[in-house]
Each structure stands twice: as C-alpha cells, then as structure tokens.
Amino acid sequence: MTEIIPILWCVSIAEDPYSNFEQTPAVSKEIAERAVARMHQDIDRSIEDIDLRNDCKDCVQAEIWKGSAEDHKKDIVYDEDWFTEPFYRARDEIGAEKIFAKFPNEIIECVVGQYTFVTTKLSDALRFFGNVKSLGEVV
C-alpha cells in the first residue's frame, strides 16, 4: 500500500528580489496565505514608493515546504497564535501615538524596562505608560 504524504506549507521570505528565499513552516496552506496577506498589508501601509512596495511584496510568499516533515513540525512559526502577536513595539506615549496614527487597530507591544503590555487600542497603551510612570519608571 502506498503511503500518502501530506503537502506541507510555509512562508518564504527573501531580503531582496535577487536573494534566496528562507522558508519558515506554517501549519497549513490557509495559515501561510493569511500570514503573507498580513505581511503584504503591512508593506502596503508602510512603503509609499509603489515599485519598492511591489519588490518587497514579491519577497514574501506562501509555498510548499521543501524540507523534511520532521523539521517542518519542529520549526512551525505560523499558526493561529501568530496572528495575535504584535507587529510593532512602542517604548513611550509618542511612539504608541505614531504607530496607532499610521496603523489603527494593529497589535502593538508597549515596553518600559521590565514591564510589557500588548494592545490594539491607543487608549490602553497610554494608560499603560501612565501607570508605569506612576510606579517611578522612566518612560
């Protein structure tokens, strides 16, 4: 009897259009495609030059995994939890305001010293920084 080997998926990213792609495993084709779409959306919002934007988007793609099944399973990065991880980090109120002005409702990580807070709301980020200041931390 022939064993059916499942197709494994990944997100492949290159530094530039002329570099080799580095594969990072995803749990499924759907997750890989959603991760690529999230990264493409970030590129669209971050880069104004259309040629540069298109070059960057060409460097991020979903594709079939070329490595072993064992390595794929061991090294999975892109899963449902990945979509709840922050894309940006703010170290003060000004940084948070700039991020949310450009990327409303994005997930950001607020960091001051040993304190961290993840949010999708500017008001929560500002409250976090205010609370940390009240503890005597320098923001």
pLDDT digits (tens, 9 = 90+) for 91-116: 999 999 999 998 888 899 999 988 99
Q: What token pair was written down for 110?
A: 């607020």
CA distances from 133 to 5, 16, 57, 93, 129 (A): 55, 41, 39, 11, 6
CA pseudo-torsion sign 11, 17, 19, 20 = positive
Residue pair 116/109 in contact (Cβ under 8 Å)? The answer is yes
Q: Which domain holds residue 108?
A: 88-134
For 9-18, how does the pLDDT look when each residue is reduced to its tens digit (9 = 90+)?
A: 999 999 988 8
**What is residue 103's predicted lDDT score, i.e. its pLDDT?**
86
For 36-56, how does the pLDDT look when each residue is reduced to its tens digit (9 = 90+)?
A: 999 999 899 889 999 999 999
Note whether 33 and 74 are same-domain residues: yes
**What is residue 104's predicted lDDT score, i.e. its pLDDT?**
85
- How many domains does one find in the chain? 2
Note whether 80 and 118 are same-domain residues: no
Burial class, 97, CB count within 10 angstroms (exposed 0-12 / middle 13-18 / buried 19+): middle
**What is residue 138's predicted lDDT score, i.e. its pLDDT?**
61
Does a structural domain hold residue 77? yes
115-119 and 9-13 strand pairing: unpaired
**What is residue 6's predicted lDDT score, i.e. its pLDDT?**
86
**What is residue 25's predicted lDDT score, i.e. its pLDDT?**
98
106 or 136, which is more confident = 106
Domain stop point among 84, 102, 117: 84
Whether 139 has a pLDDT exceeding 70, the answer reads no
Note whether 126 and 107 are same-domain residues: yes
Note whether 79 and 13 are same-domain residues: yes
- Tokens 């070329």 belong to 66
